[in-house]
Amino acid sequence: MSWIRTLIPVFALAVCAPSLALAQTSGCTGFKEAMVRAAGDLKPEFIKPLVVSRGAGAGLDNFDLVTRARIDGVLRCKEEAFVGFEAKITVPADARLVAQFDKVQEAALVAALKWAPSRAEATARRMANDAAEYLRGSQERGDIIFSGRVEEHAGGGVDIGLLWTLNERNFIILTGQ
């Protein structure tokens, strides 16, 4: 019978841990404010675009990212809850744009997950190196579609992903909402 008493807290932790980690992500307003602080001289702003749809994405608020660089981005929220963030650039890109894109990725990780800047930078750099390697491998194999894709599970139902092709680089943060 004592093993049941031991299992109850373990089971409760397993059930509650994802929601606890998800609670660590910023809300929508918190993400926007933290992103502006973390991105510095890129001066990011989030604007609400006019969207005409037939129910796709119902209940989600989309905000377009506007920066001083050629970086496209979308923030998705459900009421005040952060749902996801996507940013992309087209390639080939000059070194300055790639550095700015790296800065946006790092700022998004800091804003969404409340990570330290050093952790965000290390994660973004590691994932970029892996995506570049997978893209090279895809080209060497002669895949039909050349791509390098990397995913990382940040815990609590939060996933981070990079998708690189010969035409663009995409960075994605998604929650389980």
For the residues of 106-123, what is the DSSP string, one character each? HHHHHHHH---HHHHHHH
Residue type, position 64, single letter: D
Give the residue-averaged pLDDT of 51-80: 84
Q: In which domain, by residue range, is 64 found?
A: 2-174
Residue 31 pLDDT: 94
Residue type, position 24, single letter: Q
- Asked if pLDDT for residue 21 goes beyond 70, the answer is no
Question: Can you tell me the distance from the alpha carbon of 114 to that of 106, in angstroms, rounded to the nearest whole number?
Answer: 11
- Asked if pLDDT for residue 8 goes beyond 70, the answer is no
User: CB-based contacts of 65: which residues, under 8 Å, 6+ apart?
Assistant: 44, 45, 46, 71, 72, 73, 74, 75, 87, 104
- Asked if pLDDT for residue 2 goes beyond 70, the answer is no
- Asked if pLDDT for residue 106 goes beyond 60, the answer is yes
- Asked if pLDDT for residue 17 goes beyond 80, the answer is no
The one-character DSSP state at 27 is B
Give the residue-averaged pLDDT of 39-44: 89
Give the residue-averaged pLDDT of 114-122: 95
Classify 80 as helix, strand or coil: coil
Give the residue-averaged pLDDT of 77-84: 92
Question: Can you tell me the distance from the alpha carbon of 34 to that of 16, in angstroms, rounded to the nearest whole number?
Answer: 26
Question: Can you tell me the distance from the alpha carbon of 119 to that of 117, in angstroms, rounded to the nearest whole number?
Answer: 5
Average pLDDT along the chain: 83
* Domains contained in the chain, number: 1
